[in-house]
Structure 1
Amino acid sequence: MAATLVASPAAHAQGNGRAPVYLAGSGNAALDQHIQKLLEQNLESQNDLILISDEQAALTQDGPIVTLGPSAFSRIRQVNRKAPVLALLVEHDFLQSFVRRSPGQVSGVYHGAQLLRQALIGKAILPQATRVALISTTDTAELYDTLIDQLPAYKLEARLFVVDDDKQLIPTLIRALSYGDFLLAAPDDAIYNPRTIKHVLLTAYRRNRIVIGPSQAYVKAGSLASGYAPFPAMAEMAAGYLQTFFETGAFPAPGYPSQSRVEINEQVARSLNIPLDTREQIAQTVEKWLQEQRGQGDE
């Protein structure tokens, strides 16, 4: 089954009897083709995966639209607010307001890792760590609510430091770094963005503290490590969401794939004289801790 670009999506879908799934690409041809292939493998022969332009998306009425990346999602929402949309390659803070307004009709598969996994990556790298520093704005503090309650089960505690305005970012960060064994960064564009990340990372580095998260891109910039969801796991989860949509008329709530991998910055680790296990060993340690906790919950 190949993803096709057709002049009339509805006509194509009606021609073969399979329910259509429309795909709005990111603009990165290699990435789009890779995810197309993975989605096709998971959808098998149940649906037609149809690549559409923004103009065609405005006319679709007979199937959900999968969007790749925040730009694609925003474009599709602008041209067709009635279409059910499953967003891939987006983060929690980007999608949550849309989901609140259109539950069941807007959902997504996040491409990062759950904050608990991110925190445990930090503990796997620094086994003696007991305190996790968190920074947010007043509006984004809720990103950490669940995490703060989860951490004590893993012998970790966290404190949230709130930034009221841009001028307070570095002074607040310094206080946070004095408290925590490491700084855990959520996918929070209000705090961690291209304008601020260099200052955050340099401030942490000068105080001999590591930053975990929020994504692979920030590991390249200087975070020590981050979890992320592999593309095959995202595609498998997306196919399951689409199946649920066709069965019930609604998507499940957005979520993270159960599988997670770890990206590390070995240069930063060497600079801070921190010994590192391999990415695979760190991921296995995190998974072991999570399974142990789940086992205790079942007892």
Structure 2
Amino acid sequence: MAANHSATWRNCPWLHTALLVLCLLHTPVRAAELVLSSAGDTSSLQGFGSALAAARAQDRVRIVPLNDLPPLNQMPADTRLILFGQSALAWRLSAEQGPPTLVLQVSKTQARATFGDRAPSNLSVLWSDAAPLRQLRLAKHLQPHIGRIGVLHDADSAFMLDEIRHAAAALDLEIVAEDWPNTRDNRPLLHLLQHSDILLGLADDDLYNPQTAKNLLLTSYAQQRAMIGPGAGFVRAGSLASAYSDQNDWLETLNTLLDQPPQGWPSGSYSKTFKVLGNSQVARALAVDLPSDEDLARRIAEGETP
């Protein structure tokens, strides 16, 4: 009988693979140390940290103020740094050596201003911007007749035009770009409104902020032009609609990345999931048929690459 078992083992190499898989399935996953940090008061991270700990019971989650963190080159190899904000990103770049790091609450323009053209190693930035392709799909869904998308930019956000044009080409849309170096001068804005069908707002704090919002929106609507984006805050101020990601979306994206080896993390990425917020009052004023936020998000998500 023993001889028969031995022959079966030699003649069935798939048994080796099956047993190896079973062993791997029963091997405990090594816990990682997830350290959340930001500059200044970290109390705002408590809710995020608690939700992350609940989602990743196998890991240890701690919140540590930036000033209390040890030198980067002294952190254990199993540490995963999760930083929030541009100041924390700048701190991480102060040393080349350090643990794998994920950075949230930083826009593409802020990231560019912090590390320029170079792509830091061992670092992944989860951009707070809404993905341009999502915003353009949202614009075309709400106003199917549009063909020309107006984009205001300055020297700090001009680099985003290549990505936006690429996204627009996939939807057979044309990007009409206008430099706006001085937000007190309305001529670039008026010129753009005359040569585009709808405006796409960018996550550029120099152009889109509480001080410029009133002028941007009132001037746009005086020309019967809607604005998409740049985020949920601007929708509340008076833009037509925008995609955005909340804490649950970022937790889902973060959880997916933490399940992967850090070597596979992208240098930068948008949230994998998102929501949509529309402004019904603005939609009525512009005679735009505005579905529910949930329906809009579902329709825009359809066809996205998993």
TM class by smaller structure = 0.7 to 0.9
Question: Where does structure 1 lack aligned partners over 5 or more consecutive residues?
Answer: 1-16
Deviations along 1:118-177, whole A, 9 cap, x unmatched?
111111111221211111113421212122123233232111111243444x21111111
Is the Cα–Cα contact under 8 Å of residues 42 and 63 in structure 2 kept in the other structure?
A: no
Question: Where does structure 2 lack aligned partners over 5 or more consecutive residues?
Answer: 1-29
Q: Distance in 2 between matches of 1:134 and 1:66?
A: 32
Q: Which has the higher contact order (CA 8 A, sep 6+)?
A: 1
Q: Distance in 2 between matches of 1:20 and 1:53?
A: 15
User: How many residues are matched?
Assistant: 270
Equivalent position SS for 1:195: helix
Task: In structure 2, give the amino acid aligned to 1:70.
Answer: Q
Report matched runs for 1:1-299 at 5 Å.
18-25=31-38, 27=41, 29=43, 31-45=44-58, 47-59=59-71, 61-62=75-76, 63-74=79-90, 76-77=91-92, 82-84=97-99, 85-96=101-112, 97-98=114-115, 100-101=117-118, 103-168=120-185, 170-244=186-260, 246=262, 248=263, 251-288=265-302, 290-291=303-304
Q: Distance in 2 between matches of 1:278 and 1:133?
A: 25
Q: Distance in 1 between matches of 2:189 and 2:224?
A: 13
Shift of 1:115: 0.8
| Structure 2 CA distance for partners of 1:263 and 1:81, relative to 1, 3 Å | farther
Deviations along 1:244-275, whole A, 9 cap, x unmatched?
455x3x74211012212101112222233322
Q: Distance in 1 between matches of 2:117 and 2:98?
A: 16
Equivalent position SS for 1:129: coil
Q: Distance in 2 between matches of 1:116 and 1:276?
A: 19
Q: Distance in 1 between matches of 2:201 and 2:45?
A: 28
Larger Rg, first or second structure (1 or 2): 2
Equivalent position SS for 1:132: strand
Shift of 1:99: 7.3
Task: In structure 2, give the amino acid aligned to 1:202.
Answer: L
Deviations along 1:212-250, whole A, 9 cap, x unmatched?
11111111111111101232231232233344455x3x7
Is the Cα–Cα contact under 8 Å of residues 168 and 175 in structure 2 kept in the other structure?
A: yes
Task: In structure 1, give the amino acid aligned to 2:60.
Answer: D
Equivalent position SS for 1:86: strand
Is the Cα–Cα contact under 8 Å of residues 253 and 271 in structure 2 kept in the other structure?
A: yes
Q: Distance in 2 between matches of 1:80 and 1:51?
A: 21
| Structure 2 CA distance for partners of 1:78 and 1:58, relative to 1, 3 Å | farther
Q: Distance in 2 between matches of 1:82 and 1:99?
A: 19
Is the Cα–Cα contact under 8 Å of residues 54 and 79 in structure 1 kept in the other structure?
A: no
Equivalent position SS for 1:280: helix
| Structure 2 CA distance for partners of 1:176 and 1:149, relative to 1, 3 Å | same
Equivalent position SS for 1:275: coil
Q: Distance in 1 between matches of 2:132 and 2:122?
A: 25
Q: Distance in 2 between matches of 1:153 and 1:254?
A: 21
Q: Report the TM-score when normalising by structure 1.
A: 0.79
Q: Distance in 1 between matches of 2:52 and 2:106?
A: 17
Is the Cα–Cα contact under 8 Å of residues 22 and 64 in structure 1 kept in the other structure?
A: yes
Task: Judge which range, 188-197 or 259-268, deviates more.
Answer: 188-197
